[in-house]
Amino acid sequence: MHYTLIIHGYSDCSESFEKLKKFLIDKDVGKVDTVLYVDYQSREDSLTLNDVVDGLNDALIAKNLVQQGGNSDHTFSIIVHSTGGLVIRHWIATYYGDQGRIDACPVKKIVMLAPANFGSPLAHRGKSFLGSLVKGRWKVGDFLEVGQKILDSLELASPFQWELAHRDLLVEKPWYNRKQIQLTIIAGLEDYDGIRGLVNSPGTDGTVVIAGTCLDSAKIHLDFRKPENDNGDYEPFRWSRYRPPVDFAFTVLSGYNHGSIISEIHEKNENQVSGLIRRALRQEDEHSFGEFIKELDTLRLANYKNSENPKPVFQQFIVRAVDDFGAAVTDFSLEFSLLKFERIIDHLVINDEKTFSENEERLSARLQSIIAAGFYTNRQDPSFRRFLVNLADLNALLDEAKELLGQDIAITVRIYIPDVEKGIRYEIGRLQNVLLYTSNKDRHDNDRPSFIFSNTTTLIEMKVDRYNHYVVIH
């Protein structure tokens, strides 16, 4: 038997998806007893996403949809909205990916509608008293609860998102592909209007970061620790993967925001969203799904170009700093520079003996402002930072810089960490400017791909040595 499960997002319930279920039944995608809702109380303050997936697994076992050990006599298609994306990813990673038995996973197709895969800029607002008044629950015993733990997971650059990405995306063999779990992601391209428009942020559908809905991810390691070998060699820059995982369907739709992508689905008449859902669930084999991927790529490019209010494409970065024991470094700053490529020397480190020219100083200041425009420090753990970069602004600056400097250019980053106290410090002598991007194509081999990917989230982990003077041997 094949079942379709519908999983709602934060502060929602299955009632919002009744039209979608009726539509699926009307189009013979499922039946009354095979299209099922997954309901969970997202605004219980003590409830975590661990609790949600644990409860989901128990409920699947109770319904005889999944056996106690994880095997199933059935197959599943999953439709999720918003936070539901994190729920299903976490469930699959916990009960199949982490166990090394992804081949036993009964999920064959997933359609994500505006998923909060890499967070929402509204999550930290939801934890405020104002958020309680707007979204909170009015019931004796849980007055003005807003789901603190789940909102923690939804906050930009949350530790939960970072960990989950390492469990299901930054793995040797990601399972979201045309042969294993066929994944389709659909996001709206518009902001909220009216009074709700007051919460709009650049690069969002009103609620979630559009670049963060997509699961294209890569990771950079910047290792500034003392080399373990005797000759002092080290590699300050390396990628977790050479290319982002792109074997899934992803598109954005003009005319839809985070709410209307669900609310405008009709129970009988097919619109653009419901039509894509139906087609995604009916792809029969990997070849047809490959053609579907290409079609949605074309649709995405057309919608960005033809939108009534054209939106720029963004790239999101999540940065984390840790010491040589893996402990969080919560006080640091990043300095980005835009320079002539000729300044780059061995190990992709800038030659600090040369001073920057006036043009390089001016270009670097503009680069810093573009990157800082989307800056956010995670409130749970300040060692996590988020940057959201407008790629139209960035590419225009790179073109101008190349012409102004008269040669290939380079983007570098430098980290600065102040001393903790008089006797405890970080070794910042190695924290030189490290090359992140260059227009010189000869440096983009398989080991060093381009740093810039549209509609993606790039993770950057920086490791530094921490020293103290409080331990001596006499």
Please determine, for residue 444, whether its predicted confidence score (pLDDT) is greater than 90.
no
Residue 62 lies in a domain: yes
Q: Do 300 and 393 belong together in one domain?
A: no
Cβ neighbours of residue 24 under 8 Å, at least 6 residues apart?
Answer: 4, 30, 35, 277, 278, 281
Which segment of 25-29, 200-204, 271-275, 401-405 scores lowest on mean pLDDT? 200-204
Q: Do 298 and 434 belong together in one domain?
A: no
pLDDT by residue (tens digit) across 453-466?
Answer: 889 999 999 999 89
Separation CA 292–CA 307 (nearest Å) = 22
Separation CA 144–CA 368 (nearest Å) = 40
Q: Do 367 and 273 belong together in one domain?
A: no
Please determine, for residue 152, whether its predicted confidence score (pLDDT) is greater than 90.
yes
Residue 221 lies in a domain: no
Q: Do 75 and 18 belong together in one domain?
A: yes
Which segment of 134-138, 333-337, 371-375 scores lowest on mean pLDDT? 134-138
Query: What mean pLDDT is predicted for residues 309-336?
Result: 92
Query: How far, in Å, are 226, 237, 240, 410 from residue 349 at the CA level?
Result: 16, 9, 19, 11
Residue 433 lies in a domain: yes
- Burial track 314-346 (b if 16+ CB lie within 10 A, e otherwise): bbbbbbbbbbbeeeebeebebebbbbbbebbee
What the block records as the tokens of 61 is: 């076992």
Q: What band does 243 get if pLDDT is binned at 50, 70 and 90?
A: low
Q: What band does 235 get if pLDDT is binned at 50, 70 and 90?
A: low
pLDDT by residue (tens digit) across 160-219?
Answer: 999 999 999 999 889 999 999 999 999 999 988 766 665 667 899 999 999 999 998 888
Residue 453 lies in a domain: yes
- In percent, how much of the chain has pLDDT > 90? 64
pLDDT by residue (tens digit) across 279-291?
Answer: 999 998 999 999 9
Using the 3D structure, point to which of 306, 329, 345 is the last residue of a domain.
306
* Side-chain-facing half-sphere of 368: CA atoms under 13 Å: 14
Query: What mean pLDDT is predicted for residues 220-241?
Result: 72
Residue 251 lies in a domain: yes
Integer-rounded Cα radius of gyration of the chain: 24
Q: Do 299 and 333 belong together in one domain?
A: no
Cβ neighbours of residue 249 under 8 Å, at least 6 residues apart?
Answer: 182, 183, 184, 185, 280, 289, 292, 293, 296
Residue 29 lies in a domain: yes
Residue 23 lies in a domain: yes
Separation CA 81–CA 165 (nearest Å) = 18
Per-residue pLDDT, 144: 47
Per DSSP, the residues of 163-220 read HHHHHHTSSSS-SBSSSSBEEEEEEE-----GGGGGG--TTBSSSSBHHHHS--EEEE
Q: Do 331 and 301 belong together in one domain?
A: no
Q: What band does 232 get if pLDDT is binned at 50, 70 and 90?
A: low
Name the residue range of residue 68's domain: 2-216+241-306
Q: Do 265 and 344 belong together in one domain?
A: no
Please determine, for residue 118, whether its predicted confidence score (pLDDT) is greater than 90.
yes
Q: What band does 251 get if pLDDT is binned at 50, 70 and 90?
A: very high
Please determine, for residue 108, whether its predicted confidence score (pLDDT) is greater than 90.
yes
pLDDT by residue (tens digit) across 299-312?
Answer: 999 999 875 667 88
User: For the purposes of burial, counting CB atoms within 10 Å of the CB of 245, is it exposed (0-12), middle (13-18) or buried (19 or more)?
Assistant: buried
Residue in the structure block whose two tokens are 């996590």: 384
What mean pLDDT value characterizes the chain?
Answer: 87
Does the pTM of the predicted model rise above 0.85?
Answer: yes
Per-residue pLDDT, 139: 45
pLDDT by residue (tens digit) across 56-97?
Answer: 999 999 999 999 989 999 999 999 999 999 999 999 999 999
Closest among 181, 25, 247, 168 to 160, alpha carbons compared: 168
Q: Do 261 and 362 belong together in one domain?
A: no
Query: What mean pLDDT is predicted for residues 347-354?
Result: 56
- Burial track 188-204 (b if 16+ CB lie within 10 A, e otherwise): bbbbbeeeeeeebbebb
Q: Do 448 and 346 belong together in one domain?
A: yes
Please determine, for residue 125, whether its predicted confidence score (pLDDT) is greater than 80.
no
According to DSSP, residue 94 is labeled I
Total tally of structural domains belonging to the chain: 2
Q: Do 288 and 394 belong together in one domain?
A: no
87: three-class secondary structure by DSSP: helix
Per-residue pLDDT, 245: 58
Q: What is the CATH number of the domain that holds 163?
A: 3.40.50.1820
Using the 3D structure, point to which of 285, 306, 327 is the last residue of a domain.
306
Per-residue pLDDT, 452: 83
Per-residue pLDDT, 154: 95
Which amino acid, residue 155? E
Separation CA 150–CA 122 (nearest Å) = 12
Task: Return the bridge partners of 186, or none.
Answer: 113, 251
Using the 3D structure, point to which of 274, 306, 338 is the last residue of a domain.
306
Q: Do 17 and 149 belong together in one domain?
A: yes
Q: Do 251 and 392 belong together in one domain?
A: no
Greater confidence, 244 or 440?
A: 440
Residue 226 lies in a domain: no
Please determine, for residue 16, whether its predicted confidence score (pLDDT) is greater than 60.
yes
Per-residue pLDDT, 132: 47
Query: How far, in Å, are 76, 95, 149 from residue 92 at the CA level?
Result: 12, 6, 20
Closest among 347, 351, 323 to 337, alpha carbons compared: 351
